[in-house]
Chain A
Amino acid sequence: TQLLEQSPQFLSIQEGENLTVYCNSSSVFSSLQWYRQEPGEGPVLLVTVVTGGEVKKLKRLTFQFGDARKDSSLHITAAQPGDTGLYLCAGQAYSGAGSYQLTFGKGTKLSVIP
């Protein structure tokens, strides 16, 4: 069974601060996806990282995939109240018969206080 551990579980910061969320596993993944979920809604895909060491930027969000493709981080610069939400990482791994399966971390609940 592949597990993804996210840390921290909860994060409450002031507007303008920087933060980093971590996603770690002992398993290797084909790719890793990051989602954000707001209350009452389903998760929304932010980014997919595929290559070990890959860095992707989405405005103030920077995503990195570890060299060994076992871990990832999400860094937010100058957080804003609109960044508030549950951040989920999901690892994609081959499950046989031409199919892949996603394993989700439990998420990091971020609150950005104005």
Chain B
Amino acid sequence: KAGVTQTPRYLIKTRGQQVTLSCSPISGHRSVSWYQQTPGQGLQFLFEYFSETQRNKGNFPGRFSGRQFSNSRSEMNVSTLELGDSALYLCASTPGPPAGFNSYEQYFGPGTRLTVT
């Protein structure tokens, strides 16, 4: 099975711009989660989508949004970029729905490195 893919891998944007990141989960996985990883804060949960619906949301401002398509592919969008948004954005897929504890084992993509200047 192909793993989780994320595009683009690297991105440089200017303050005030917006950005869209894409994630294709492992085939058959229906849940997609997004995380922000920075050296200071570590891995922080952004949101989770399951069957095109946002099921969970972390403590991030409304500038961060996402969506999931019928084929389980997901996108996240960040509007009005700030310097502090520079981070590695990771997407992870899980089999879902909960059929046991292993249903929430995350399979991560390689991430998108976003630099805001």
Q: A: which residues have CB within 8 A of B? A: 30-31, 33, 35, 40-45, 48, 50, 88, 90, 92, 95, 97-107
Q: B15 to nearest A CB, angstroms?
A: 25
Pairwise interchain contact B42-A102, C-beta atoms closer than 8 A: no
Q: Give Cα A97 to B97, complex, Å.
A: 12
Q: Give Cα A103 to B43, complex, Å.
A: 8
Partner among B48, B106, B107 whose Cβ is within 8 Å of the Cβ of A99:
B48
Please name all residues of chain A whose beta carbon is closer than 8 Å to the beta carbon of B42 when the two chains form the complex: 88, 104-107
Q: Give Cα A106 to B41, complex, Å.
A: 7
Pairwise interchain contact B108-A44, C-beta atoms closer than 8 A: yes
Please list the 5 inter-chain residue pairs (A to B) with the smallest Cβ-Cβ separation, ordered nearest first: A42-B108, A106-B42, A104-B43, A31-B101, A99-B55
Please name all residues of chain B whose beta carbon is closer than 8 Å to the beta carbon of A50 when the two chains form the complex: 101
Pairwise interchain contact B105-A33, C-beta atoms closer than 8 A: yes
Q: B: which residues have CB within 8 A of A? A: 4, 33, 35, 41-45, 48, 50, 55-56, 90, 92, 97-98, 101-102, 104-111
Partner among B48, B90, B105, B111 whose Cβ is within 8 Å of the Cβ of A45:
B105
Please name all residues of chain A whose beta carbon is closer than 8 Å to the beta carbon of B4 when the two chains form the complex: 42
Residue of chain B at shortest CB distance from A33: B105
Q: Give Cα A101 to B54, complex, Å.
A: 13
Given contacts A95-B56, A103-B45, 20 further A-B contacts (CB under 8 A): A33-B105, A33-B106, A35-B108, A41-B110, A41-B111, A42-B4, A43-B90, A43-B106, A44-B108, A48-B101, A50-B101, A88-B42, A92-B104, A97-B55, A98-B98, A99-B55, A102-B106, A104-B45, A106-B43, A107-B42
Residue of chain A at shortest CB distance from B35: A104
Pairwise interchain contact A102-B110, C-beta atoms closer than 8 A: no
Residue of chain B at shortest CB distance from A49: B101
A-B contact pairs, 8 of them (CB 8 A): A31-B104, A41-B111, A48-B102, A48-B105, A92-B104, A99-B98, A103-B45, A104-B45
